[in-house]
Amino acid sequence: MAFEYLFDAILTVSQPLNIMILFLSTAAGLLMGMLPGLSATMAIALLTGLTYNFPTQSALISLLGVYVGAISGGCQSAILLNIPGTPASAATALDGFPMARRGEGGLAIFLATTSSFLGTFLSVIFVLTLTPVLTQFALKFASWEFFLLSIFGIMICGSITARGNALKGWISGILGLMVAQIGMDIVDTFPRYSYGNVNLMSSIQLIPVMIGLFGFPEIVKSFVKKEENRTVGLTRFEPKKGFRLIGKNIVAIIRSAAIGVGVGIIPGVGEDTGGWLSYWASKQNSKDKESFGKGNPLGIISAESGNNSCIGGAIIPVLSLAVPGSAPAAVLLAAFLMHGYRPGPLLMTESPSFVYNVCIYLAFASFAMWAIALLISHGTVRLLALKKKILMPIIYTLCVIGAYLIHYNMFDVKVMFVFGMVGILITKLDIPAAPFLLGVILGPMADSNLRRGLRLSNGSMLPMLQRPICIFFLLVILFMIFQQTGLIDLIKRKGKKDGDK
Protein backbone atom coordinates (compact mmCIF):
# COMPACT_ATOMS: atom_id res chain seq x y z
CA MET A 1 0.00 0.00 0.00
CA ALA A 2 2.65 2.45 1.10
CA PHE A 3 4.72 1.88 -2.02
CA GLU A 4 1.70 2.47 -4.19
CA TYR A 5 1.15 5.86 -2.52
CA LEU A 6 4.82 6.75 -2.86
CA PHE A 7 4.77 5.81 -6.52
CA ASP A 8 1.62 7.89 -7.11
CA ALA A 9 3.21 10.86 -5.41
CA ILE A 10 6.32 10.57 -7.56
CA LEU A 11 4.12 10.45 -10.66
CA THR A 12 2.25 13.57 -9.54
CA VAL A 13 5.34 15.59 -8.80
CA SER A 14 7.02 14.63 -12.07
CA GLN A 15 4.26 16.08 -14.24
CA PRO A 16 5.83 18.90 -16.27
CA LEU A 17 3.56 21.57 -14.76
CA ASN A 18 4.30 20.44 -11.22
CA ILE A 19 8.04 20.24 -11.88
CA MET A 20 7.87 23.81 -13.07
CA ILE A 21 5.90 24.90 -10.00
CA LEU A 22 8.38 23.07 -7.79
CA PHE A 23 11.39 24.81 -9.28
CA LEU A 24 9.74 28.23 -9.37
CA SER A 25 8.56 28.12 -5.79
CA THR A 26 11.81 26.70 -4.47
CA ALA A 27 13.67 29.48 -6.24
CA ALA A 28 11.24 32.03 -4.80
CA GLY A 29 11.80 30.55 -1.35
CA LEU A 30 15.57 30.73 -1.77
CA LEU A 31 15.39 34.38 -2.76
CA MET A 32 13.11 35.26 0.15
CA GLY A 33 15.36 33.36 2.52
CA MET A 34 18.37 35.28 1.26
CA LEU A 35 16.82 38.69 1.80
CA PRO A 36 17.11 39.74 5.41
CA GLY A 37 13.69 40.14 6.96
CA LEU A 38 11.76 37.88 4.64
CA SER A 39 11.60 34.73 6.72
CA ALA A 40 10.32 31.26 5.93
CA THR A 41 7.14 31.93 7.89
CA MET A 42 6.40 34.96 5.78
CA ALA A 43 7.28 33.21 2.53
CA ILE A 44 4.80 30.41 3.23
CA ALA A 45 2.13 32.84 4.43
CA LEU A 46 2.46 34.85 1.22
CA LEU A 47 2.28 31.76 -0.92
CA THR A 48 -0.70 30.41 0.98
CA GLY A 49 -2.73 33.32 -0.31
CA LEU A 50 -1.35 33.00 -3.83
CA THR A 51 -1.99 29.27 -4.14
CA TYR A 52 -5.50 29.36 -2.69
CA ASN A 53 -7.04 28.57 -6.05
CA PHE A 54 -4.36 26.17 -7.31
CA PRO A 55 -5.11 22.47 -7.78
CA THR A 56 -4.45 20.91 -4.37
CA GLN A 57 -1.38 18.84 -5.23
CA SER A 58 0.31 21.70 -7.07
CA ALA A 59 -0.38 23.98 -4.13
CA LEU A 60 1.19 21.47 -1.73
CA ILE A 61 4.24 21.18 -3.95
CA SER A 62 4.73 24.91 -4.09
CA LEU A 63 4.24 25.40 -0.33
CA LEU A 64 6.77 22.73 0.58
CA GLY A 65 9.17 24.02 -2.07
CA VAL A 66 9.05 27.51 -0.66
CA TYR A 67 9.55 26.17 2.88
CA VAL A 68 12.69 24.22 1.99
CA GLY A 69 13.97 27.07 -0.15
CA ALA A 70 13.50 29.76 2.48
CA ILE A 71 15.18 27.81 5.27
CA SER A 72 18.15 27.06 3.01
CA GLY A 73 18.43 30.45 1.32
CA GLY A 74 19.37 32.32 4.47
CA CYS A 75 22.82 30.75 4.51
CA GLN A 76 24.04 32.61 1.43
CA SER A 77 23.64 36.08 2.91
CA ALA A 78 24.97 34.77 6.22
CA ILE A 79 28.13 33.49 4.56
CA LEU A 80 28.75 36.30 2.10
CA LEU A 81 27.66 39.33 4.12
CA ASN A 82 27.57 38.12 7.74
CA ILE A 83 23.87 39.11 7.69
CA PRO A 84 21.72 35.98 8.17
CA GLY A 85 18.80 35.99 5.75
CA THR A 86 16.57 34.27 8.32
CA PRO A 87 17.05 33.69 12.05
CA ALA A 88 17.50 30.00 11.21
CA SER A 89 20.84 30.60 9.52
CA ALA A 90 22.37 32.82 12.19
CA ALA A 91 24.61 29.96 13.34
CA THR A 92 25.89 29.55 9.80
CA ALA A 93 27.34 33.06 9.81
CA LEU A 94 29.69 32.18 12.70
CA ASP A 95 31.96 30.10 10.51
CA GLY A 96 30.62 30.94 7.08
CA PHE A 97 31.65 34.59 7.07
CA PRO A 98 35.23 33.96 8.22
CA MET A 99 35.52 31.36 5.47
CA ALA A 100 34.25 33.81 2.88
CA ARG A 101 36.75 36.38 4.07
CA ARG A 102 39.49 33.83 3.63
CA GLY A 103 38.41 33.62 0.00
CA GLU A 104 36.52 30.36 0.36
CA GLY A 105 33.02 31.75 -0.05
CA GLY A 106 32.21 29.43 -2.91
CA LEU A 107 33.24 26.37 -0.97
CA ALA A 108 31.31 27.58 2.08
CA ILE A 109 28.12 27.98 0.05
CA PHE A 110 28.62 24.61 -1.56
CA LEU A 111 28.98 23.00 1.87
CA ALA A 112 26.01 24.88 3.33
CA THR A 113 23.75 24.02 0.40
CA THR A 114 24.76 20.39 0.28
CA SER A 115 24.27 19.92 4.00
CA SER A 116 20.92 21.72 3.79
CA PHE A 117 19.93 19.22 1.15
CA LEU A 118 21.15 16.26 3.18
CA GLY A 119 19.47 17.62 6.32
CA THR A 120 16.11 17.94 4.62
CA PHE A 121 16.43 14.57 2.95
CA LEU A 122 17.36 12.76 6.15
CA SER A 123 14.48 14.40 7.98
CA VAL A 124 12.07 13.11 5.32
CA ILE A 125 13.27 9.59 6.08
CA PHE A 126 12.48 10.25 9.74
CA VAL A 127 8.97 11.39 8.83
CA LEU A 128 8.36 8.31 6.71
CA THR A 129 9.60 5.77 9.21
CA LEU A 130 9.28 7.12 12.73
CA THR A 131 6.27 9.44 12.84
CA PRO A 132 4.28 7.47 15.47
CA VAL A 133 7.27 7.00 17.80
CA LEU A 134 8.43 10.59 17.47
CA THR A 135 4.94 11.92 18.15
CA GLN A 136 5.04 10.18 21.52
CA PHE A 137 8.42 11.80 22.12
CA ALA A 138 6.94 15.23 21.43
CA LEU A 139 4.24 14.60 24.04
CA LYS A 140 6.91 13.84 26.65
CA PHE A 141 7.79 17.52 26.61
CA ALA A 142 5.92 19.38 29.33
CA SER A 143 6.67 22.68 31.04
CA TRP A 144 9.73 21.51 32.97
CA GLU A 145 11.31 19.94 29.92
CA PHE A 146 10.68 23.07 27.87
CA PHE A 147 12.23 25.17 30.61
CA LEU A 148 15.39 23.10 30.85
CA LEU A 149 15.68 22.84 27.07
CA SER A 150 15.64 26.61 26.82
CA ILE A 151 18.17 26.98 29.66
CA PHE A 152 20.37 24.49 27.82
CA GLY A 153 20.03 26.61 24.69
CA ILE A 154 20.86 29.75 26.58
CA MET A 155 23.95 28.10 28.10
CA ILE A 156 25.25 27.67 24.57
CA CYS A 157 25.77 31.45 24.60
CA GLY A 158 28.97 30.95 26.56
CA SER A 159 30.46 28.60 24.00
CA ILE A 160 29.69 30.30 20.71
CA THR A 161 32.12 33.15 21.20
CA ALA A 162 34.96 33.16 18.73
CA ARG A 163 37.75 33.81 21.20
CA GLY A 164 36.51 31.45 23.86
CA ASN A 165 35.61 34.22 26.30
CA ALA A 166 32.52 32.73 27.92
CA LEU A 167 31.83 35.85 29.96
CA LYS A 168 31.26 38.02 26.90
CA GLY A 169 28.89 35.41 25.49
CA TRP A 170 26.90 35.45 28.71
CA ILE A 171 26.73 39.24 28.82
CA SER A 172 25.31 39.23 25.32
CA GLY A 173 22.93 36.37 26.07
CA ILE A 174 21.59 38.03 29.21
CA LEU A 175 21.04 41.27 27.30
CA GLY A 176 19.00 39.23 24.84
CA LEU A 177 17.01 37.64 27.67
CA MET A 178 16.22 41.08 29.04
CA VAL A 179 14.93 42.24 25.68
CA ALA A 180 12.76 39.12 25.55
CA GLN A 181 11.06 40.25 28.77
CA ILE A 182 9.49 43.24 27.05
CA GLY A 183 5.81 42.87 26.27
CA MET A 184 2.74 41.08 27.51
CA ASP A 185 3.82 38.01 29.43
CA ILE A 186 2.24 34.72 28.44
CA VAL A 187 1.30 33.38 31.86
CA ASP A 188 -0.58 36.27 33.45
CA THR A 189 -1.01 38.61 30.47
CA PHE A 190 0.82 41.27 32.44
CA PRO A 191 2.46 44.07 30.42
CA ARG A 192 6.16 44.38 31.21
CA TYR A 193 8.37 47.35 30.33
CA SER A 194 5.73 48.55 27.90
CA TYR A 195 5.07 52.03 29.34
CA GLY A 196 1.54 51.85 27.99
CA ASN A 197 2.81 51.53 24.43
CA VAL A 198 0.84 48.96 22.42
CA ASN A 199 3.76 48.14 20.16
CA LEU A 200 5.95 47.33 23.13
CA MET A 201 3.10 45.31 24.65
CA SER A 202 3.16 42.98 21.67
CA SER A 203 6.85 42.40 22.46
CA ILE A 204 9.98 43.00 20.42
CA GLN A 205 9.94 41.05 17.16
CA LEU A 206 12.85 38.75 16.48
CA ILE A 207 13.56 39.72 12.89
CA PRO A 208 14.13 43.47 13.33
CA VAL A 209 16.47 42.63 16.21
CA MET A 210 18.37 40.21 14.01
CA ILE A 211 18.67 42.61 11.09
CA GLY A 212 19.79 45.38 13.39
CA LEU A 213 22.34 43.33 15.30
CA PHE A 214 23.92 41.65 12.31
CA GLY A 215 23.18 44.00 9.44
CA PHE A 216 24.00 47.43 10.79
CA PRO A 217 27.54 46.74 12.02
CA GLU A 218 28.42 45.30 8.62
CA ILE A 219 26.90 48.23 6.77
CA VAL A 220 28.60 50.82 8.92
CA LYS A 221 31.89 48.94 8.92
CA SER A 222 32.06 48.99 5.16
CA PHE A 223 32.10 52.78 5.19
CA VAL A 224 34.45 53.35 8.09
CA LYS A 225 37.35 50.97 8.25
CA LYS A 226 39.56 51.72 5.29
CA GLU A 227 41.65 48.56 5.53
CA GLU A 228 38.59 46.29 5.51
CA ASN A 229 37.35 47.65 2.25
CA ARG A 230 39.54 45.60 0.01
CA THR A 231 37.34 43.29 -2.00
CA VAL A 232 37.78 39.59 -1.54
CA GLY A 233 38.71 37.82 -4.74
CA LEU A 234 36.15 35.70 -6.54
CA THR A 235 36.05 32.23 -5.17
CA ARG A 236 35.95 28.88 -6.82
CA PHE A 237 33.41 26.26 -5.80
CA GLU A 238 35.76 23.32 -5.52
CA PRO A 239 32.99 20.72 -5.52
CA LYS A 240 35.58 17.94 -5.25
CA LYS A 241 36.95 19.33 -2.03
CA GLY A 242 33.40 20.02 -0.93
CA PHE A 243 32.27 16.45 -1.42
CA ARG A 244 35.37 15.21 0.34
CA LEU A 245 34.61 17.44 3.34
CA ILE A 246 30.98 16.29 3.36
CA GLY A 247 32.05 12.66 3.18
CA LYS A 248 34.52 13.13 6.00
CA ASN A 249 31.88 14.70 8.21
CA ILE A 250 28.99 12.41 7.41
CA VAL A 251 28.70 11.40 11.07
CA ALA A 252 28.33 15.04 12.06
CA ILE A 253 25.63 15.48 9.43
CA ILE A 254 23.63 12.52 10.68
CA ARG A 255 24.01 13.72 14.26
CA SER A 256 22.93 17.25 13.29
CA ALA A 257 19.97 15.88 11.36
CA ALA A 258 18.85 13.82 14.35
CA ILE A 259 19.15 16.86 16.63
CA GLY A 260 17.31 18.99 14.09
CA VAL A 261 14.45 16.52 13.79
CA GLY A 262 14.23 16.32 17.57
CA VAL A 263 14.13 20.10 17.92
CA GLY A 264 11.65 20.35 15.08
CA ILE A 265 9.20 17.89 16.62
CA ILE A 266 8.98 19.71 19.93
CA PRO A 267 6.09 22.13 19.50
CA GLY A 268 7.12 25.76 19.45
CA VAL A 269 10.87 25.17 19.03
CA GLY A 270 12.04 25.08 15.46
CA GLU A 271 14.51 26.11 12.80
CA ASP A 272 15.71 29.18 14.71
CA THR A 273 17.05 26.95 17.48
CA GLY A 274 17.93 23.79 15.54
CA GLY A 275 21.01 25.24 13.88
CA TRP A 276 22.47 26.39 17.19
CA LEU A 277 22.05 23.07 18.98
CA SER A 278 23.62 21.01 16.22
CA TYR A 279 26.43 23.56 15.91
CA TRP A 280 27.12 23.22 19.61
CA ALA A 281 27.00 19.42 19.47
CA SER A 282 29.55 19.36 16.67
CA LYS A 283 31.81 21.76 18.50
CA GLN A 284 31.62 19.60 21.62
CA ASN A 285 32.58 16.50 19.72
CA SER A 286 35.37 18.15 17.79
CA LYS A 287 38.98 17.78 18.86
CA ASP A 288 39.73 21.22 17.49
CA LYS A 289 37.22 23.40 19.38
CA GLU A 290 39.37 26.51 18.97
CA SER A 291 38.88 26.66 15.20
CA PHE A 292 35.09 27.03 15.50
CA GLY A 293 34.03 30.57 14.83
CA LYS A 294 37.14 31.14 12.76
CA GLY A 295 35.95 29.47 9.60
CA ASN A 296 35.69 25.77 10.38
CA PRO A 297 33.73 24.06 7.57
CA LEU A 298 32.23 21.66 10.10
CA GLY A 299 30.48 24.62 11.75
CA ILE A 300 28.64 25.42 8.52
CA ILE A 301 27.87 21.80 7.78
CA SER A 302 26.30 21.11 11.16
CA ALA A 303 24.40 24.39 11.43
CA GLU A 304 22.82 24.00 8.01
CA SER A 305 21.98 20.30 8.21
CA GLY A 306 20.60 21.02 11.68
CA ASN A 307 18.24 23.82 10.70
CA ASN A 308 17.02 22.10 7.54
CA SER A 309 16.24 18.83 9.23
CA CYS A 310 13.89 20.79 11.51
CA ILE A 311 11.58 20.96 8.49
CA GLY A 312 10.78 17.27 8.58
CA GLY A 313 10.71 17.33 12.36
CA ALA A 314 8.27 20.22 12.50
CA ILE A 315 5.97 18.50 10.01
CA ILE A 316 5.68 15.33 12.10
CA PRO A 317 3.41 16.77 14.82
CA VAL A 318 1.51 18.70 12.13
CA LEU A 319 0.62 15.41 10.47
CA SER A 320 -0.02 13.35 13.57
CA LEU A 321 -1.50 15.87 16.04
CA ALA A 322 -2.33 18.96 13.96
CA VAL A 323 0.06 20.81 16.29
CA PRO A 324 2.81 22.70 14.46
CA GLY A 325 6.41 22.09 15.52
CA SER A 326 7.69 25.52 14.44
CA ALA A 327 6.46 28.90 13.25
CA PRO A 328 6.66 28.16 9.50
CA ALA A 329 4.98 24.80 10.13
CA ALA A 330 2.08 26.63 11.76
CA VAL A 331 1.42 28.52 8.55
CA LEU A 332 1.86 25.31 6.61
CA LEU A 333 -0.80 23.68 8.78
CA ALA A 334 -3.15 26.53 8.00
CA ALA A 335 -2.50 26.02 4.30
CA PHE A 336 -3.18 22.27 4.56
CA LEU A 337 -6.49 23.01 6.26
CA MET A 338 -7.36 25.54 3.62
CA HIS A 339 -6.87 22.95 0.91
CA GLY A 340 -9.30 20.61 2.60
CA TYR A 341 -6.88 18.30 4.39
CA ARG A 342 -7.37 17.61 8.06
CA PRO A 343 -3.98 16.75 9.49
CA GLY A 344 -4.25 15.13 12.89
CA PRO A 345 -5.23 11.80 14.37
CA LEU A 346 -7.76 11.07 11.61
CA LEU A 347 -5.40 11.79 8.74
CA MET A 348 -4.23 8.22 8.19
CA THR A 349 -7.80 6.94 7.89
CA GLU A 350 -9.24 9.87 5.94
CA SER A 351 -6.49 10.61 3.46
CA PRO A 352 -3.76 8.00 3.90
CA SER A 353 -1.87 9.12 0.80
CA PHE A 354 -1.27 12.58 2.22
CA VAL A 355 1.75 11.71 4.38
CA TYR A 356 3.46 10.06 1.42
CA ASN A 357 2.67 13.01 -0.82
CA VAL A 358 4.20 15.43 1.66
CA CYS A 359 7.33 13.30 2.05
CA ILE A 360 7.90 12.87 -1.67
CA TYR A 361 7.29 16.56 -2.35
CA LEU A 362 9.74 17.49 0.42
CA ALA A 363 12.37 15.14 -0.98
CA PHE A 364 11.95 16.54 -4.48
CA ALA A 365 11.99 20.07 -3.11
CA SER A 366 15.30 19.40 -1.42
CA PHE A 367 16.77 18.21 -4.73
CA ALA A 368 15.40 21.27 -6.50
CA MET A 369 16.77 23.51 -3.77
CA TRP A 370 20.23 22.00 -4.12
CA ALA A 371 20.32 22.49 -7.86
CA ILE A 372 18.93 26.01 -7.84
CA ALA A 373 20.94 27.21 -4.85
CA LEU A 374 24.21 26.14 -6.47
CA LEU A 375 23.14 27.78 -9.70
CA ILE A 376 22.17 31.03 -7.99
CA SER A 377 25.32 31.07 -5.90
CA HIS A 378 27.45 31.45 -9.02
CA GLY A 379 25.86 34.88 -9.20
CA THR A 380 25.75 35.66 -5.51
CA VAL A 381 29.44 35.03 -4.82
CA ARG A 382 30.12 37.85 -7.22
CA LEU A 383 28.56 40.15 -4.62
CA LEU A 384 31.84 39.86 -2.77
CA ALA A 385 33.61 41.43 -5.70
CA LEU A 386 31.26 44.41 -5.63
CA LYS A 387 32.45 47.56 -3.94
CA LYS A 388 30.98 47.58 -0.43
CA LYS A 389 30.01 51.22 -0.87
CA ILE A 390 27.68 50.26 -3.68
CA LEU A 391 26.43 47.00 -2.21
CA MET A 392 25.71 48.10 1.33
CA PRO A 393 23.21 50.90 0.62
CA ILE A 394 21.19 48.35 -1.36
CA ILE A 395 21.39 45.90 1.52
CA TYR A 396 20.34 48.67 3.89
CA THR A 397 17.23 49.45 1.85
CA LEU A 398 16.35 45.75 1.80
CA CYS A 399 16.79 45.63 5.59
CA VAL A 400 14.35 48.49 6.08
CA ILE A 401 11.79 46.95 3.76
CA GLY A 402 12.23 43.54 5.38
CA ALA A 403 11.64 44.92 8.86
CA TYR A 404 8.59 46.84 7.69
CA LEU A 405 7.02 43.86 5.94
CA ILE A 406 6.83 41.67 9.06
CA HIS A 407 3.69 43.35 10.35
CA TYR A 408 3.43 46.31 7.99
CA ASN A 409 4.39 48.44 10.94
CA MET A 410 6.89 51.31 11.09
CA PHE A 411 7.54 50.46 14.73
CA ASP A 412 9.52 47.40 13.64
CA VAL A 413 11.74 49.62 11.48
CA LYS A 414 12.46 51.76 14.53
CA VAL A 415 13.21 48.64 16.56
CA MET A 416 15.63 47.58 13.86
CA PHE A 417 17.37 50.93 14.00
CA VAL A 418 17.68 50.86 17.80
CA PHE A 419 19.14 47.37 17.73
CA GLY A 420 21.41 48.45 14.90
CA MET A 421 22.92 50.96 17.32
CA VAL A 422 23.16 48.24 19.96
CA GLY A 423 24.81 46.01 17.38
CA ILE A 424 27.42 48.64 16.50
CA LEU A 425 28.12 49.23 20.17
CA ILE A 426 28.58 45.60 21.14
CA THR A 427 30.71 44.93 18.07
CA LYS A 428 32.96 47.77 19.19
CA LEU A 429 33.18 46.17 22.64
CA ASP A 430 33.99 42.85 20.98
CA ILE A 431 30.87 41.21 22.41
CA PRO A 432 29.38 38.63 20.02
CA ALA A 433 25.90 39.33 18.66
CA ALA A 434 24.84 35.70 18.21
CA PRO A 435 24.15 34.97 21.92
CA PHE A 436 22.02 38.11 22.06
CA LEU A 437 19.80 36.68 19.35
CA LEU A 438 19.66 33.32 21.10
CA GLY A 439 18.55 35.09 24.28
CA VAL A 440 15.74 36.82 22.43
CA ILE A 441 14.62 33.54 20.82
CA LEU A 442 14.65 31.44 23.99
CA GLY A 443 13.79 34.03 26.65
CA PRO A 444 9.99 33.79 26.49
CA MET A 445 10.17 29.98 26.50
CA ALA A 446 12.37 29.82 29.60
CA ASP A 447 10.34 32.43 31.43
CA SER A 448 6.81 31.16 30.82
CA ASN A 449 7.61 27.47 31.24
CA LEU A 450 9.40 27.92 34.55
CA ARG A 451 6.45 29.84 35.96
CA ARG A 452 3.93 27.42 34.51
CA GLY A 453 5.85 24.48 35.95
CA LEU A 454 6.03 26.12 39.37
CA ARG A 455 2.33 26.84 39.31
CA LEU A 456 1.55 23.23 38.44
CA SER A 457 3.73 21.93 41.26
CA ASN A 458 2.56 24.53 43.81
CA GLY A 459 5.98 26.14 43.85
CA SER A 460 8.08 23.02 44.20
CA MET A 461 11.25 22.53 42.09
CA LEU A 462 11.23 18.80 42.82
CA PRO A 463 9.46 17.66 39.62
CA MET A 464 12.60 18.68 37.75
CA LEU A 465 14.47 15.82 39.42
CA GLN A 466 11.72 13.28 38.89
CA ARG A 467 11.51 13.36 35.12
CA PRO A 468 14.07 11.46 33.00
CA ILE A 469 14.38 14.04 30.20
CA CYS A 470 14.82 16.79 32.80
CA ILE A 471 17.64 14.91 34.50
CA PHE A 472 19.38 14.51 31.15
CA PHE A 473 19.16 18.25 30.50
CA LEU A 474 20.26 19.10 34.04
CA LEU A 475 23.39 16.98 33.63
CA VAL A 476 24.23 18.59 30.31
CA ILE A 477 23.67 22.07 31.77
CA LEU A 478 25.92 21.28 34.75
CA PHE A 479 28.60 20.00 32.40
CA MET A 480 28.38 23.20 30.37
CA ILE A 481 28.68 25.38 33.44
CA PHE A 482 31.81 23.55 34.55
CA GLN A 483 33.26 23.65 31.09
CA GLN A 484 32.62 27.31 30.47
CA THR A 485 33.90 28.46 33.84
CA GLY A 486 37.07 26.52 33.19
CA LEU A 487 36.56 24.07 36.06
CA ILE A 488 36.89 21.04 33.82
CA ASP A 489 40.19 22.25 32.41
CA LEU A 490 41.38 22.87 35.94
CA ILE A 491 40.52 19.34 37.04
CA LYS A 492 42.16 17.87 33.94
CA ARG A 493 45.32 19.85 34.50
CA LYS A 494 45.42 18.82 38.12
CA GLY A 495 44.92 15.22 37.14
CA LYS A 496 47.85 15.47 34.75
CA LYS A 497 50.08 17.01 37.40
CA ASP A 498 49.18 14.26 39.81
CA GLY A 499 49.95 11.75 37.11
CA ASP A 500 53.35 13.34 36.48
CA LYS A 501 54.23 12.97 40.10
Whether residue 259 contacts residue 276, with contact meaning beta carbons closer than 8 Å, is answered with: no
Min CB(100)–other proteins separation in Å: 24
Which of 143, 282, 326, 380: binder of other proteins (CB under 8 A)?
143
Helix (H, G, I), strand (E, B) or coil at 192: strand
- Residue 495 binding other proteins, by CB under 8 A: no
Angle between helices 327-338 and 40-50 (to 10 degrees): 10
Q: In the chain, what are the helix, strand and coil shares in percent, each to the nearest 5?
A: 80, 0, 20
Q: C-beta of 339: minimal distance to other proteins in Å?
A: 11
The interface region with other proteins, picked from 74-82, 98-106, 381-389, 393-401 by CB under 8 A, is 393-401
Q: How many residues does the chain have?
A: 501
Burial class (CB in 10 A: 0-12, 13-18, 19+), 69: buried
For other proteins, the closer of residues 342 and 382 by Cβ is 342
Question: What is the x/- site pattern for other proteins, positions 231-270, by CB under 8 A?
Answer: ------------------------------------xx--
CB of 220 to other proteins, least distance (A): 6
Under the binding rule (CB under 8 A), the answer on residue 36 touching other proteins is: no
Q: DSSP string covering 133-191, please? A: HHHHHHHT--HHHHHHHHHHHHHGGGG--TT--HHHHHHHHHHHHHHHH-EE-TTT--E
Residues 6+ apart with CB under 8 A from 40: 29, 32, 33, 66, 67, 70, 71, 86, 88, 271, 327, 328
* Of residues 96 and 324, the one with the C-beta less far from other proteins: 324
Segment 113 to 142, residues that bind other proteins, using CB under 8 A: 138-142
Q: Closest CB to other proteins among 20 and 410?
A: 410
Question: In angstroms, rounded to a whole number, what is the distance separating the alpha carbons of residues 201 and 190?
Answer: 9
Out of 7, 223, 243, 472, the only residue in the binding site for other proteins (CB under 8 A) is 223
Sole binder of other proteins in the list 41, 51, 82, 123 (CB under 8 A): 41
Contact status, residue 323 vs residue 299, Cβ threshold 8 Å: no
387 touches other proteins by CB under 8 A = no
Q: How far is the CB of 331 from other proteins (least distance, A)?
A: 4
The rounded distance, in Å, linking the Cα atoms of 157 and 484 is 10
| Beta-carbon contacts of residue 394 (< 8 Å; ≥ 6 apart) | none
Distance of alpha carbon 298 from alpha carbon 40, whole angstroms: 24
Q: Does 352 participate in binding other proteins (rule CB under 8 A)? A: no
If the CB atoms of residues 323 and 363 are measured against other proteins, the closer one turns out to be 323
Is residue 384 within 8 Å of 230, Cβ to Cβ? no
Give the Cα separation of 204 and 211 in Å (integer): 13
Q: Which of residues 181-210 bind other proteins (CB under 8 A)?
A: 183-184, 186-189, 191, 198-199, 201-203
Q: Which of 7, 52, 243, 479 binds other proteins (CB under 8 A)?
A: 52
**Complex with other proteins: residue 36 or 96, whichever CB lies closer:** 36
Q: Nearest approach, Cβ of 128 to other proteins (angstroms)?
A: 21
Q: Which residues between 316 and 335 bind other proteins (CB under 8 A)?
A: 321-324, 327, 330-331, 333-334
Q: Which is nearer to other proteins, 151 or 400 (CB)?
A: 400
Does 14 interact with other proteins (rule: CB under 8 A)? no
3-state secondary structure of 464: helix
* Contacting residues for 420 by C-beta, under 8 A, at least 6 apart: 211, 212, 213, 215, 216, 217
CB of 48: closest distance to other proteins in angstroms?
8
Q: For other proteins, give the closer residue by CB, 109 or 329.
A: 329
Report how many residues bind other proteins under the rule CB under 8 A: 66
Answer left, alpha or beta for residue 289, where phi above 0 means left and psi between -120 and 50 means alpha: alpha
The answer to the question of residue 337 lying near other proteins (CB under 8 A) is yes
Shortest reach from residue 231's CB to other proteins, in Å: 20
For residues 350 and 336, give the distance between their C-alpha atoms in angstroms, rounded to a whole number: 14
Q: Out of 455, 492, 494, 496, which residue is the one contacting other proteins (CB under 8 A)?
A: 455
Q: 197 near 467, Cβ under 8 Å?
A: no
Which one of 11-19, 44-52, 65-73, 126-134 is the stretch in contact with other proteins (CB under 8 A)?
Answer: 44-52
Q: Contact at 8 Å (CB) between 67 and 328?
A: yes
Residue closer to other proteins, measured from CB, 258 or 335? 335
Helices and strands (H and E) in the chain: how many: 24, 2
Binding region for other proteins (CB under 8 A): 41, 45, 48-49, 52, 138-143, 183-184, 186-189, 191, 198-199, 201-203, 216, 219-220, 223-224, 267-268, 321-324, 327, 330-331, 333-334, 337-338, 340, 342, 344-346, 393, 396-397, 400-401, 404, 407-410, 413, 417, 420-421, 424, 444, 448, 452, 455-456
